[in-house]
Amino acid sequence: MTMTRPSPRCRKLLRELSRYLDGELTPTRRRVIERHIKACACCGMMTARLRMTVAACRAVGQRRPPRAVMSRAADRIRTLLARP
């Protein structure tokens, strides 16, 4: 798909893209964005990429510390709870 430079109208809509992806727009505004991204290849592509970025961020979240760090954390709890 050939990308074109976003028009001023596209740029205005793109500023709302995160709110659109997060479901924070009013139904009316959401429909406006949806119509636009279906009709505009540039914004459609931008939406897909931003959605992928958000998904990638969420995928790397909720990591666990390494085992050595967890072990030290457990030791700290033992020490704390053993205090008189």
Partner 1 sequence: MKQRMVTKRGGDREPSTASVHDDYPGLVRSAAAGDTEALNRLLMRAQETAWRFSMSVCGRSDDAEDAMQEALIKTYRYVGRIRDPGAFRPWLYRTVRNACLMSRRKRAGEPARLQSLDEVLPGSDGRMHQDTPHPGKDPEQLAENAGLRRRLRKALGALPGPYRAIVFLREMEGLSTREVAKIMKMSEDNVKTRLHRARVQLQAGLEGPK
Residue ranges that bind partner 1, judged by CB under 8 A: 15, 17-19, 22, 24, 49-50, 52-54, 56-58, 60-67, 69-70, 72-74, 76-78, 80-84
Alpha-carbon span 65 to 79, nearest angstrom: 20
Measured from the CB of residue 28, what is the shortest distance to partner 1 in angstroms?
A: 18
Secondary structure of residue 83 in the 3-state scheme: coil
Measured from the CB of residue 9, what is the shortest distance to partner 1 in angstroms?
A: 17
Considering the complex, state which of residue 41 and residue 74 has its C-beta at the smaller distance from partner 1.
Answer: 74
Number of CB atoms found within 10 A of residue 43's CB? 22
Considering the complex, state which of residue 39 and residue 57 has its C-beta at the smaller distance from partner 1.
Answer: 57
Measured from the CB of residue 14, what is the shortest distance to partner 1 in angstroms?
A: 8
Long-range contacts of the stretch 36-41 (C-beta < 8 A, 24+)? 36/10, 37/13, 40/10, 41/1, 41/2, 41/3, 41/4
